[in-house]
């Protein structure tokens, strides 16, 4: 038997009762199959509400400030349909990312009976999470917010109030993509709206004096020298007053620019993680473990649910359903454990030295692993 030193662990993780299989008791009321997944985290719920509010605010400004008052009905209808479709897909993707089980490992399964049922062979080990008392399959990490070990966990995102893992990464990617698209679309419409209104107001101003652009340029008439009161309609470009319209559009510009940058970066990061078959936590930790990586195209197909089709962009179409975990998925080889050359043969219950990354906020204080070995 091997004992891996645990000098890197915090004090609470060194307590023996956290590592003894007989201390693990399955939850008395397991979650029924088909139950909706929802994380009761105050910060995450608040961020999710803010996300919906910002999307609905953009919807309000686009419709009631820019499109409905416009006299170009074709322009209004086309842009209204496109923007509303993208907004609907963004909110649907957000709901699916928030309410889908990201790949939680069964809680409390690290019991003595279950470990014995695995019938470990020489050179095989199983990792045990002392926080949720679960046996951790490969590439699973513990989330302190969800209080569960999540398979292929990338990170915990407060904006969707959930972890991004094996089962909901597709929805998170679609959410970031659609938010980036509606942000870009809104910025383009705001630009056209400003240009159109400035040009239209200037034209109406000239028509109020019975002048053309050429006559104004030749006469070099200064508006400050004209005493005649202006009679230009303020409802040409918006149903709101000019100051209110400007404030609403400036806020929309700020929101659109901020979310365009943020979601574009997140979208690119997620696509890179999928193509390289490396999660955000694995990229930060850089564990030098031998792991067979899947090809980029195979990883993309597994994430988005099969060969390329329109279902890739459909938030109501799930990813390829993962296979149920078999006994061999819980077991790993000793060669994949770091620092095995510095171990001693003393007991069956051991700890693995923690390789906690410096970025605690991103990793959410992840795992403290227990290890059961057989030699």
The catalytic residues are 157
Place of tokens 């239209």: 200
Cα torsion angle, 305, 279, 53, 82, sign: negative
What residues contact 177, with CB distance under 8 A and at least 6 apart? 263, 267
Q: Are 256 and 183 in contact (CB under 8 A)?
A: yes
Q: 232 CB contacts (<8 Å, ≥6 apart)?
A: 201, 204, 205, 208
**CB contact at 8 A, 76 and 68:** yes
Contact of 156 with 162, CB cutoff 8 Å: yes
Q: Residue 370's beta-bridge partner residues?
A: 128, 351
Sign of CA dihedral 44, 50, 53, 59: negative
Identify the CA nearest to 2 among candidates 137, 99, 126: 126
Residue with the two structure tokens 């897909």: 89
Integer Cα distance of 6 and 128 in angstroms: 14
What are the residues facing 149 on neighbouring strands? 142
């Amino acid at each position: 038997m091997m004992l891996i030193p645990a000098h890197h662990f915090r004090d609470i993780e060194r307590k023996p009762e956290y590592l003894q299989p007989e201390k693990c008791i399955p939850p008395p009321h397991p979650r029924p199959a088909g139950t909706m997944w929802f994380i009761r985290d105050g910060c995450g719920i608040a961020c999710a509400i803010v996300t919906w509010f910002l999307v609905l605010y953009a919807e309000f400004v686009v419709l009631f400030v820019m499109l409905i008052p416009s006299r170009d009905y074709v322009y209004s209808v086309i842009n209204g349909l496109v923007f509303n479709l993208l907004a609907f897909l963004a909110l649907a993707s957000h709901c699916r990312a928030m309410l889908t089980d990201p790949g939680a490992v069964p809680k409390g399964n690290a019991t003595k009976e279950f470990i014995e049922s695995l019938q470990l062979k020489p050179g095989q080990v199983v990792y045990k999470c002392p926080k949720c008392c679960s046996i951790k399959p490969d590439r699973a990490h513990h989330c302190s917010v969800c209080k569960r070990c999540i398979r292929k966990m990338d990170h915990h995102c407060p904006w969707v109030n959930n972890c991004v893992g094996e089962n909901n990464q597709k929805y998170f990617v679609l959410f970031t993509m659609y938010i980036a698209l509606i942000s870009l679309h809104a910025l383009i419409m705001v630009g056209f709206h400003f240009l159109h209104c400035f040009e239209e107001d200037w034209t109406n101003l000239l028509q109020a004096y019975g002048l053309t652009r050429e006559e104004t340029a030749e006469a070099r008439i200064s508006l400050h020298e004209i005493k005649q009161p202006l009679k230009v309609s303020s409802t040409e470009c918006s149903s709101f007053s000019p100051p209110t319209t400007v404030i609403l559009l400036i806020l929309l510009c700020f929101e659109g620019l901020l979310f365009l940058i943020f979601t574009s970066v997140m979208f690119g990061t997620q696509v890179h993680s999928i193509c390289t078959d490396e999660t955000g936590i694995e990229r930060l930790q850089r564990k030098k473990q031998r792991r067979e990586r899947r090809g980029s195209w195979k990883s993309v197909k597994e994430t988005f649910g099969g060969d390329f089709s329109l279902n890739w962009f459909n938030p109501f179409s799930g990813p390829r359903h993962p296979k149920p975990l078999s006994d061999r998925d819980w077991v790993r080889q000793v060669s994949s454990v770091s620092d095995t050359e510095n171990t001693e043969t003393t007991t069956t219950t051991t700890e693995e030295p923690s390789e906690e990354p410096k970025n605690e906020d991103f990793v959410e204080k992840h795992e403290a692993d227990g290890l059961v070995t057989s030699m």
